[in-house]
Amino acid sequence: MSETNEFKEQVVEENTVVEEQQNVQEESTVEAEVTPELSLEEQQRVELSALELKLDEEESRYLRLRADYDNLKRRTQTERVAQEKYRAQNLLTDLLPVLDNFERALQVEAKTEDAESMKKGIEMVYRSLIEATSKEGLEPVATEGETFDPNVHHAVMQEQDDLKEVGIVLQELQKGYKLKDRVLRPAMVKVNE
C-alpha cells in the first residue's frame, strides 16, 4: 500500500468516526441501545440532563443576543437623533466666514444713491441668509454686557472700566456662533478686568 492510500484510508476512518458521533448526538436513543453498561433508566437520565443543559445554553444564548439586539436598537436611535440634530454642522461652519464677509461688506458706507440702493438689496439677501441658517439652529453668541463665559467667549483683550462689573464682556471683536447647544465658534471679546 502506498503512503497516499494509507493517508486516504485514515481520512476515511476519521470521517466515519465523526459521522458516528453526529448520529449519536442527533438520535441519542440509538446510543442508549448500544451502551449496555447502563440501565435504560440511567441512560435516559443522562440524556435528559444533557438535553436540559443544552436547553439552558440555548436560552442564555438567546438572552445574550436579545440584549445585543436591544443595545444596537438603542444605540442607533441615539446616533440617529444626534446625526439629525447637528446635520447642518459642516455647511454652517463653512458659512461662518461668508457671514463675516457679508457683515463687513455691509459696514461700508454708501455715499451715492446708486450705492445706497444696491446696499438695500444686499441687506435683504443678508437677512434671508440669516433666516435660513437660524431655521437650521444657528444662533450668534450673546456678548456685550454678558458675564464672561469661557465656553462661548474667547478673551483676546482686557480693559478696566470701573463703571462696569468685573468679568463683564465690554466689546465683541468677532461674532461667535452656536448650533443649538453646540459652540461652532466662540466669540472673540474684550473683557473688563
Give the residue with the Cβ less far from a second copy, 11 or 65.
65
Q: How far is the CB of 117 from a second copy (least distance, A)?
A: 8
Give the residue with the Cβ less far from a second copy, 12 or 122.
122
> Apex CA 50: angle with CA 46 and CA 51, to 5°?
120
Give the residue with the Cβ less far from a second copy, 37 or 165.
37
Q: How far is the CB of 140 from a second copy (least distance, A)?
A: 17
Residues lying near a second copy in the complex (CB under 8 A): 29, 40-41, 44-45, 47-48, 51-52, 54-55, 58-59, 61-62, 65-66, 68-69, 72-73, 76, 79-80, 83-84, 87-88, 90-92, 94-95, 97-98, 101-102, 104-105, 108, 110-112, 114-115, 117-119, 121-122, 124-125, 128-129, 131-133, 135-136
Classify 188 as helix, strand or coil.
strand
Find out whether 159 and 192 touch, Cβ atoms under 8 Å: yes
Q: Which three cell numbers stand for residue 141?
A: 453668541
Residue by residue, DSSP assigns 49-77 as: HHHHHHHHHHHHHHHHHHHHHHHHHHHHH
Length of the chain: 193
Q: How far is the CB of 182 from a second copy (least distance, A)?
A: 15
Q: In terms of DSSP bridges, do strands 177-179 and 182-185 run parallel, antiparallel, or are they unpaired?
A: antiparallel
Q: How far is the CB of 22 from a second copy (least distance, A)?
A: 13
Find out whether 103 and 127 touch, Cβ atoms under 8 Å: no
